[in-house]
Amino acid sequence: MDDEARIEGIRALLAETAHAHHEATGGPNSNWSGWYAEYLTGKIDEYVGFSPDVETISIWLTDADDRRQSEEPEEKYWPTVYARYIVEDYAQDD
């Protein structure tokens, strides 16, 4: 799978996760990255090339959030930005 396919797959998962999070919690919460990581466990594997645990995914999401805020990328749709960061920084080759 090429990087663009990985990014698109993770982007779609993040959008799905955001919707599920909103439905479950009604909005923002302080443990959003943990909630997202639980939801993504087992679903993100095919896009990153291995099976990361909840803590690892939570760290990726927190790092992606910090990086997006510090870099202010041109892309404004956060799931795409986070997906790109995750693929660039953590995905392993097939």
- Within 27-73, residue ranges assigned H as helices are 32-40, 45-48, 54-71
Confidence of residue 94 (pLDDT cuts 50, 70, 90): low
Among 4, 14, 9, smallest CA distance to 35 is for 14
Query: With contact defined as beta carbons under 8 Å apart, do 92 and 49 qualify?
Result: yes
Confidence of residue 89 (pLDDT cuts 50, 70, 90): very high
Average predicted confidence (pLDDT) for the chain:
93
Does the pLDDT of residue 19 top 80, yes or no?
Answer: yes
